[in-house]
């Protein structure tokens, strides 16, 4: 067992004792002091099924986790920040309240408030260790010391933060103009994609959603996603973005992403089966909701045939690859190991595709 797993088990054990300690104030205070020093994230509390959802501790853990996520995903939520303002000094999670407020002030450029909030975080608690970091970043030194490397670190962080903030503001302002939106987002994504791929993908998905709300995700936008993230990931993000708006188009993107996946050197059968499960679910939705044109069926048929050939080439014993069925939807069902359940019919109600995306949801 890793050191982190051991620490997590110890923290959860202490949380259980703390929550069940009742009115034994002396014991509760001792447990609170020990927990405050090692509880490295309020999110750990979320996994404690012995703590009721309506309890004060669980509500505070949820609020702090939501507020911190809002800060770090580039989409600040004022309601999430307001939800943590009721956390009192007697709370086990009060140190994390000060930390989150400090980070919020840092992102807003209010450096004095940041240092003030961090100074309120009780000493010898897990988040208090960040106090020295912000002191270095915002003053170029710590405890009165002045070191050139700290000053340089401060300069680098604050300059990078300013560039990212300005870029995000430009992206928000460009939401109504597709070319400017894609260009602005592309510049920021290229800067951060190597170090923070998840955040880069979140920015692109936000852009895709804005374009979908306006009308439809253009081929230009899909191409930009492929250029920034590669064929497999670019098509996957496009498939996710169109899943609720245009499941028929999403199916095409999922097929392209699956084909690109098969060209990767580290493709596994588990990944292929996950793709096939998604393809089957989306294809059933498409069949039940749309009156499909012959041109669309031919396109899907061509992609599915190519997919079956590639799977058979890489995994000769993979079931369903030797099917002679001319119907692409039946072929998808066969490759996924299930029989086709639905027949194509004229669309009646357009709904979001019910797809299990455990391995692929962003």
Per-residue pLDDT of 161-178, as tens digits, reads: 554 555 555 555 656 677
What phi and psi values does residue 345 have, to the nearest 5 degrees? -150, 170
Most confident of the ranges 109-113, 154-158, 188-192: 109-113
Average pLDDT of 20-39?
84
167-199 b/e (C-beta count within 10 Å ≥ 16 → b):
bbebbeebbeebeebbebbbebbeebbeeeeeb
Q: Is residue 67 scored above 80 in pLDDT? A: yes
Reported as a single tens digit per residue, the pLDDT across 274-283 is: 999 999 999 9
Reported as a single tens digit per residue, the pLDDT across 198-207 is: 888 888 888 8
Nearest to 307 by CA among 285, 278, 287: 278
Q: What is the mean pLDDT of the chain?
A: 80
According to DSSP H, which parts of the chain are helical?
3-20, 25-38, 43-46, 56-72, 78-82, 94-107, 111-120, 130-139, 148-173, 178-192, 197-214, 219-242, 247-262, 269-289, 294-314, 328-335
pTM (global) more than 0.75: no
What phi and psi values does residue 280 have, to the nearest 5 degrees? -65, -45
Q: Is residue 316 scored above 90 in pLDDT? A: no
CA distance 55 to 102: 26
Nearest to 336 by CA among 360, 353, 358, 320: 320
Q: What is the pLDDT of residue 170?
A: 54
How many Cβ atoms sit within 10 Å of the Cβ of residue 350? 12
Q: What is the pLDDT of residue 357?
A: 42
Q: What is the pLDDT of residue 352?
A: 36
Residue 111 CB burial class (10 angstroms; 0-12, 13-18, ≥19): middle
Percent pLDDT > 70 in the chain is 79
What are the extents of the domains in the chain?
3-139, 152-229, 243-362
Nearest to 10 by CA among 35, 28, 27, 47: 35
Residue 53 CB burial class (10 angstroms; 0-12, 13-18, ≥19): exposed
Helix 247-262 with 219-242: angle, nearest 10 deg: 100
Q: What is the pLDDT of residue 121?
A: 92
Higher pLDDT, 162 or 33: 33
**Are 42 and 61 within 8 A, CB to CB?**
yes
């Amino acid at each position: 067992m890793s050191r982190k797993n051991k620490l997590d088990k110890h923290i959860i054990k202490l949380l259980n004792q703390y929550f069940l300690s009742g009115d034994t104030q002396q014991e509760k205070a001792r447990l609170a002091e020990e927990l405050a020093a090692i509880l490295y994230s309020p999110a750990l509390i979320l996994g404690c099924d012995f703590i009721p959802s309506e309890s004060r501790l669980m509500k505070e853990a949820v609020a702090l986790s939501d507020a911190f996520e809002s800060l770090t995903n580039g989409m600040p939520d004022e309601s999430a920040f307001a939800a943590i303002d009721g956390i009192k000094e007697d709370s086990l999670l009060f140190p994390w309240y000060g930390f989150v407020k400090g980070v919020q002030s840092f992102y807003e450029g209010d450096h004095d408030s940041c240092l003030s909030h961090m100074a309120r975080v009780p000493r010898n608690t897990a988040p208090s260790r960040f106090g020295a970091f912000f002191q270095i970043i915002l003053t170029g030194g710590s405890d009165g010391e002045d070191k050139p490397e700290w000053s340089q670190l401060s300069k680098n962080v604050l300059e990078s933060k300013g560039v990212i903030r300005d870029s995000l503001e430009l992206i928000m302002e460009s939401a109504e103009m597709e070319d400017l939106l894609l260009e602005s987002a592309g510049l920021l994504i290229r800067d951060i994609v190597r170090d923070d791929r998840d955040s880069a993908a979140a920015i692109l998905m936000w852009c895709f959603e804005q374009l979908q709300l306006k009308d439809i995700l253009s081929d230009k936008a899909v191409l930009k996603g492929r250029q920034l993230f590669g064929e497999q990931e670019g098509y996957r993000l496009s498939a996710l973005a169109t899943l609720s708006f245009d499941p028929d188009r999403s199916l095409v993107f999922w097929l392209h992403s699956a084909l690109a996946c098969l060209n990767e050197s580290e493709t596994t059968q588990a990944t292929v089966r996950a793709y096939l499960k998604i393809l089957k679910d989306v294809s059933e939705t498409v069949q039940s909701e749309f009156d499909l044109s012959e041109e669309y069926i031919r396109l899907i048929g061509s992609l599915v045939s190519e997919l079956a050939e590639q799977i058979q080439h890489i995994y000769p014993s993979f079931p369903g690859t030797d099917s002679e069925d001319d119907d692409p939807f039946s072929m998808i069902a066969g490759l996924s190991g299930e029989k086709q359940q639905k027949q194509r019919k004229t669309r009646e109600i357009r709904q979001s595709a019910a797809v299990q995306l455990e391995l692929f949801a962003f």
